[in-house]
Structure 1
Amino acid sequence: MEFIIDTVDLEEIRDAVDHLPIVGVTSNPSIVKKTSPKDFFGHMREIRKIIGDERSLHIQVIATEADEIVKEAHKIFEEVDDKVYVKVPTTYEGVKAMKILKAEGKNVTATAVYDLMQAYMALAAGADYIAPYTNRIGNLGNDPFELMAHLSNRIVEDGYDCKILAASFKGVQQVRDAFNAGSQAVTAPVSVLKAIFENPSISKAVTDFNNDWYSVYGEDKGLCDM
């Protein structure tokens, strides 16, 4: 089970990596727009410094033709490092680019997945991660969790070395359902992951425990004061 965050905000990344069991960072052009760094590659290198080599960094291409996608992927490797997972939209040209990049031994994340057969194409092309768009699939009237369950079964049955990286979340319930449907990883906004802890029952339980402690040993007297 992998928790990955979908952001390029440096302070948000620092905070999330410090507090949560985060194993990677993903981005796309729309996520980049929210922060709008002037030096894109310098910003990506700074993210790498924050998360270290042990966590995954996923950067999306802009090109739509296979040859140009591969060129942009090489630019990413040159400017950041060759450990980056290049996010390639799962289009007709994108699948061709995935095949080329995997033949070169590069890391590939297949993104913009809305359909099971689309996911199967990315799987057969050798993608390391496949990213179904959970909320967007649901908004189209389809079941993203059924897609994940079928894809997970295919990965296991055929022995593929690939992980489902569920994406596009609006709430904690969707994240939970994605894991339960067979996704090995999720990439979500930090705000969604923080919402896990916003249950008022959690705060009440902690307050009640502390009040019982202080009633015995005195206000503001913690374990380190004993």
Structure 2
Amino acid sequence: MKFFIDTANLEEIAEAKSWGCLAGVTTNPSLYAKTGGALADFEPHMQKIAELCKGLPVSAETTATTVDGMVADGRRLAALAPNIVIKLPICEAGLAACRILADGGIRVNMTLIFSATQALLAANAGARYISPFVGRYDDIALDGISQLADVITCIKNYDWSGKNPDGVVEIITASVRTANHVVQAALLGADIATVPMKALKKCLHHPLTDAGIAAFEADWERVANA
């Protein structure tokens, strides 16, 4: 399973990339707002992320609500860098815009997926990536992992050749809150997990590892000072 980082923070992206395991970036309007950036700086900021992650997919989300607006945003954002993927919400306008953009050779990440039927519609409309949410299900006391399992089974049942520019649909596990979400997604066969830096660090650290490193350092310090 590949790791994407879910952030618009350039420092977090650079740190994750330095670990050597980053395969992409996802952003959204809320994540960009957290950077404190202005509206006029949004597209230059997406260009900076795309340049920092050259060759890796970077999802930039439209804020339009109509088909024409989504298509116009998508074409403009896709023109910023060859690795930018257009992120669209699953809705009537989003599906129509997805089909138009995909037919024009632009890769789309369909987001806010909460059901297998939404995922199937998105894949048929030409989505290159599908982002089912896990954590937000858990927030309302439902099982996000079981919903993810349904999405994965349905999507992997079919050949998506000819539906999008690459003829492949990859599932991005989104709204990841814990390391266990990552583990369960990987066990189910999700292609990607997109995680905030906080969750990515949870995947890296383990109390026994941290204790072991501390013990090694303490023992070596005694050797060095003997």
How many correspondences in the alignment? 217
Residues 83 and 219 (structure 1), Cα distance of their counterparts in 2 relative to 1, 3 Å cut: same
Residues 213 and 184 (structure 1), Cα distance of their counterparts in 2 relative to 1, 3 Å cut: same
* Residue matched to 1:22: 22
CA RMSD of aligned residues (A): 1.9
* Residue matched to 1:198: 205
* Residue matched to 1:56: 57
* Residue matched to 2:215: 208
Deviation at 1:55, TM superposition (A): 0.9
**1:108-139 deviations in whole A, cap 9, x for unaligned?**
00001112211111011121111011111222
Check conservation: 2:50, 2:84, Cα contact below 8 A: no
Deviation at 1:47, TM superposition (A): 1.1
Letter in 1 for 2:48: E
Identity value in percent:
29
Query: SS of 1:146's equivalent?
Result: helix
* Residue matched to 1:183: 190
Deviation at 1:148, TM superposition (A): 2.2
Gap regions ≥5 residues in structure 1: 222-226
Residues 156 and 133 (structure 1), Cα distance of their counterparts in 2 relative to 1, 3 Å cut: closer
Distance in 1 of aligned mates of 2:7 and 2:194: 9
Normalising to structure 2: TM-score of the pair?
0.88
Larger-Rg structure: 1
Normalising to structure 1: TM-score of the pair?
0.88
Letter in 1 for 2:18: D
Deviates more, 1:89-98 or 1:194-203: 194-203
Distance in 1 of aligned mates of 2:190 and 2:93: 25
**1:47-84 deviations in whole A, cap 9, x for unaligned?**
122111x2110000001111110011011123x12431
* Residue matched to 2:75: 74
* Residue matched to 1:167: 174
Deviation at 1:179, TM superposition (A): 1.9
Residues 81 and 16 (structure 1), Cα distance of their counterparts in 2 relative to 1, 3 Å cut: same
* Residue matched to 1:219: 224
Deviation at 1:151, TM superposition (A): 2.2
Query: SS of 2:8's equivalent?
Result: coil
Distance in 1 of aligned mates of 2:125 and 2:140: 26
* Residue matched to 2:48: 46
Letter in 2 for 1:43: H
Distance in 2 of aligned mates of 1:220 and 1:110: 58
Deviation at 1:198, TM superposition (A): 3.2
Check conservation: 2:114, 2:132, Cα contact below 8 A: yes
Check conservation: 2:119, 2:155, Cα contact below 8 A: no
Alignment of 1:3-152 (within 5 A): 3-38=3-38, 39-52=41-54, 54-78=55-79, 80-152=80-152
Deviation at 1:165, TM superposition (A): 0.4
Check conservation: 2:28, 2:61, Cα contact below 8 A: yes
Residues 207 and 141 (structure 1), Cα distance of their counterparts in 2 relative to 1, 3 Å cut: closer
Distance in 1 of aligned mates of 2:114 and 2:225: 53
Deviation at 1:204, TM superposition (A): 1.5
Deviates more, 1:200-209 or 1:61-70: 200-209
Query: SS of 1:183's equivalent?
Result: coil
**1:83-112 deviations in whole A, cap 9, x for unaligned?**
311000010111111111111111000001
